[in-house]
Chains A and B, each alone.
Chain A
Amino acid sequence: MHENRSTPARVWLLAALALAAAVVVIIGPALFDRFTLNVLTRSMIYAMLAVTVDILWGYTGILTFGQAAFFGTGAYASAMVLSHLGASPALMVLALALAIIVPVLLGAFVGWLSFGHGSTPLYATVISLVVPIVVTQLVFSGGVWTGSSSGLVGYSGLPLGLPGYFRLTGICLIVTTVVALVFTRSDAGKLLVAIRDNEARCAYLGLNPQRLKIVLTTILAGVAGIAGFLYANASGVVAPENTGFVFGTEIVIWTALGGRGTIIGPVIGAIGIDYLSAQLSGDLPFLWNLVVGALFVVMIILLPNGLAQLARMVLPRRNEEQASPSGSPTLAAEPAGNGSEAGNRVLAVSGLGKSFGSLQVLQGIDLDVHPGELVSLVGPNGAGKTTLLRCLSDGTEATTGTVTIAGQDISGMTPDEIVALGVGRKFQVASVFDSLTVADCLRMARASRNAPSLLRRSATLGLPAAATDILRSTGLDRMLLGRPVSLLSHGQKQSLELAMVVALEPKLILLDEPTAGLTKVERTTIGATLQKLTGELGFAAILVEHDLDFVRDISTRIVVLHQGKLVLDGSVDQVVNSEVVRTIYSGGAHA
Chain B
Amino acid sequence: MTLLLDVVTTAAILFIVAAGLLAIFGVLKIINFAHGAWLTIGAYCAVATAGLGLNPWLALPIAFAVGAILGGITELVIVRPLYRRPLDAILATWGLGIVIGQLITLWFGRDVQFTPNLLSGTVDVFGVGYSLYRLFAVAAALVIGLAFTFLLEGTRLGLSAQAVIMNEMLARALGIDTARVRLATFMVGTGLAALAGVLLTPLTSVDPNMGVAWLIGSFMLVMVAGSSFSTLAIACLVFGGAQVLVSTFVSPIFGGITVAVLCALVLRISPKGFARA
Binding site for B on A (CB under 8 A): 63, 113, 116, 118-123, 125-127, 129-130, 133-134, 137, 140-141, 245-246, 249, 252-253, 256, 286-287, 289-290, 292-294, 296-297, 300-301, 304
Contacts and interface: CB of A to CB of B under 8 A. Distances in A.
B268 interface: yes
Contact of B87 (A123, A125, A133, A253): A125
Contacts of A141: 251, 253-254
B95 interface: yes
B90 A125 contact: yes
6 contacts: A63-B87, A113-B268, A130-B220, A286-B105, A290-B99, A297-B92
Contacts of A286: 102, 105-106, 110
The 5 closest A-B pairs by CB, nearest first: A293-B98, A296-B95, A290-B102, A297-B95, A293-B99
Given A126-B267, A129-B216, A290-B103, 7 more contacts: A122-B87, A127-B264, A130-B220, A133-B260, A134-B257, A290-B106, A293-B102
B102 A289 contact: yes
Q: Secondary structure at chain A's binding surface: helix, strand, loop or mixed?
A: helix
Interface string B74-108: 00001001100111101110111111001101100
Contacts of A245: 216
A301 B84 CA distance: 11
B219 interface: yes
Contact of B271 (A120, A127, A296): A120
Contact of A296 (B98, B106, B216, B261): B98
Q: Secondary structure at chain B's binding surface: helix, strand, loop or mixed?
A: helix
Interface residues of B, number: 39
A302 B92 CA distance: 11
B212 interface: yes
Contacts of B88: 300-301, 304
B251 A249 contact: no
B257 A137 contact: yes
Contacts of B97: 293
Contact of B268 (A116, A246, A297, A301): A116
B98 A133 contact: no
A137 B253 contact: yes
Contacts of A116: 268
Contacts of B94: 249
A292 B260 CA distance: 29
B271 A119 contact: yes
A296 B91 contact: yes
Contact of A293 (B86, B95, B251): B95
A300 B78 CA distance: 9
Contacts of A300: 82, 88, 91-92, 95
Contacts of A118: 271
A584 to B, nearest CB: 29
B158 interface: no
A133 B103 CA distance: 26
Nearest to B99: A293
B145 interface: no
Contact of A126 (B95, B212, B253, B264): B264
A126 B103 contact: no
B256 interface: yes
B199 interface: no
B257 A297 contact: no
A126 B99 CA distance: 23
B264 A130 contact: yes
Nearest to A302: B81
Interface string B245-264: 00000010110110011011
Contacts of A134: 257, 260-261
B253 A140 contact: yes
Contacts of B220: 126, 130
Given A130-B264, A293-B102, A253 B256 contact: no
